[in-house]
Amino acid sequence: MLGSILTRQYRFATRGFEIGVQTAHQAVGVAGDVVGAVAGRLGLGNGNGHGEPDAFTGEMVPEAETRPQPPEPRRPPPPEPRRAPPPEPRRAPPAPAPPAAPPPAPEPAHVSSEPELVRESAEPGAEEGAGAQIRIDEPWPAYRNLKARDVIARLPFATREELAAVELFELAHANRKSVVVAAQRALKKASPPR
């Protein structure tokens, strides 16, 4: 089936090309006939005057007598135009000298070369190091007193923000697995994929 479709397109293309060639051949024949008729009326015959076969009819045409043409008068060649001298290349301005480096500042006399320890102490609680402290509040009042089944029963009515707060609070504090899983499922339902 596919082969017949492809060959059909090929056949259409080649047939179109053949028609185009035939049309061009006929147009050349008609043009030759018209030129021959015009040449016959003008008394030029069917030839080109050089004893060669006529381009349109293919017949041999005798060579016509040609009159000698007077030679064309020789004209002096035109003077060559004067060319302007090439412009001089532009020179870049000289680069400015780099600014002189300022002299080094003299070292103050009151600075000692060895550091002096003034006091070795720290604020209370700094033993653990510096860091951010995050406090996660309860998602709603009295949340800490609710049992896991009570929290799970309330999740379908919670907003997306409350669901996220429940998940964070549980992960940071009580970490009740059933509440965390229920909060994550509810949050997925409340937040459709984008």
For the record, the structure tokens of 74 come out as 């020789």
Which pLDDT tens digit goes with each residue over 172-181? 888 899 999 9
Secondary structure class of 33 (helix, strand, coil): helix
Q: Which amino acid is at 97?
A: A
- pTM for this prediction: 0.34
Residue 142, by phi and psi: left (phi above 0), alpha (psi -120 to 50) or beta? left
pLDDT at 51: 46
Rounded to an integer, what distance in angstroms lies between the CA atom of residue 27 and that of residue 24?
5
Q: Please say whether the beta carbons of 164 and 187 come within 8 A.
A: yes
CB 57 within 8 A of CB 46: yes
The first and second tokens of residue 144, run together, are: 């800490």
Q: What is the pLDDT at residue 40?
A: 74
Task: Of 91, 188, 172, 99, give the one whose Cα is nearest residue 139.
Answer: 172
Alpha-carbon distance 144 to 169, whole Å?
Answer: 10
From first to last of its 194 residues, the chain has per-residue pLDDT tens of: 555 555 666 666 677 668 877 887 787 787 778 777 777 777 675 444 444 444 545 555 555 555 667 777 777 777 777 777 777 777 777 777 777 777 777 776 666 667 677 676 667 766 666 667 778 888 888 888 999 999 999 999 999 999 999 999 999 888 899 999 999 999 988 876 66
Give the separation between CA 29 and CA 34, rounded to whole angstroms: 9
What's the pLDDT tens digit per position in 52-93?
444 545 555 555 555 667 777 777 777 777 777 777 777 777
Q: Provide the 10 A C-beta neighbour count for residue 89.
A: 6
